[in-house]
Amino acid sequence: MNIFKIFSIFCILSFFGCASEPVFLNRDDQKKTDIINAKHIIFIGFDGLGSNFLLKSNMPNLKKMINEGSSSMNVYNVLPPISWPNWMSFFKGTPFDEQTGDNFPSILTIIKNADKNIAYFYEWSDMKKISDEVNIESVSIDSTLDSTLKAADCIRENKPAFTSVIYVEPDNTGHKKWYGTKSYYEKLELMDSFIPIIMQAAVDAGIYDDTVFIISSDHGGIFWEHQVNFKSIRKVPLVIFGKGIKRGLDITSTVRIHDIAPTMSVILGLEIPSEWTGIPIWEIFE
């Protein structure tokens, strides 16, 4: 390791400090039974989007969704704060290290078992493993307009019950150009421009009024990395907008990344697997 990297790590430790595990509020007693279910969820994942960067970014489309939906900038990911354990926790409603057995259910599993159609778009090659587990067709994309148009065409033609579009940006730019640099924020602007394209596809398909849109991430970053326990890495955004979701709600309880899958189950009116330890975010529902 060269002197420059050693100095950088020292600066991180000195100025940012390690994050302690948050105190989680128990939401069990807030369970609602009169939820307005949606028939469709469209999830957009931006790998490497930390909450602190979103707040400083020029992302008008995403910020409009924040104003018109329910959101939290305090969603905690799991340790280690890297992509694979966190996307697995996201999709499987349980911290990665607590998932037991080869057939631990994911949100894709329960949607497929309910005979609902799924559209799964991924960029990072390892993400294909999640779709392979439930034997659903997946499509490789990249963080470009052409790939976004491909996903939009699928929504128009197939009207999936669950669409997942996960880009590898802005994480790639964070690793190459450092998180929080001009290049990183420029990439965020580009990714933000993809949101209305996907939303318009739901309008064109005639499903917009029966859809919930969700945007989130797996981790943030500091300098060129994201493998340490700092708040700027641990906290990721969650934005939920659409049918049956409260407008203008700032979620006050602490949310964990594995609370998102059970929340999606509730949105679609599906049973939450008994194996999951995540708790639905009940307060977002009207």
What's the per-residue H, E or C state across 198-237? HHHHHHHHCCHHHEEEEEECCCCCECCECCCCCHHHHEEE
Lowest-pLDDT choice from 18-22, 41-45, 199-203, 242-246: 18-22
The average confidence (pLDDT) of the chain is 92
Q: How confident is the model at residue 13 (pLDDT cuts 50, 70, 90)?
A: very low
Asked if 232 and 16 touch (Cβ cutoff 8 Å), the reply is yes
Q: How confident is the model at residue 230 (pLDDT cuts 50, 70, 90)?
A: confident
Q: Locate the domains of the chain by residue range.
A: 41-284
Q: Tens of pLDDT along 44-66?
A: 999 999 999 999 999 999 999 99
From CA 190, how far away is CA 48, in angstroms rounded?
Answer: 14
Place of tokens 């924020």: 185
Residues in the chain: 286
Pairing of strands 70-76, 235-242: antiparallel
The 10 Å CB-count burial string (b at 16+, else e) for 192-201 is bebbeebbeb
What pLDDT does residue 22 have?
61
Structure tokens at 137: 């067709």
What pLDDT does residue 3 have?
46
Task: Pick 41-284's CATH classification: 3.40.190.10, 3.40.720.10, 3.40.50.620, 3.40.50.720.
Answer: 3.40.720.10
The 10 Å CB-count burial string (b at 16+, else e) for 64-87 is ebbeebbbbbbbbbbbbbbbebbb
From CA 104, how far away is CA 94, in angstroms rounded?
Answer: 10
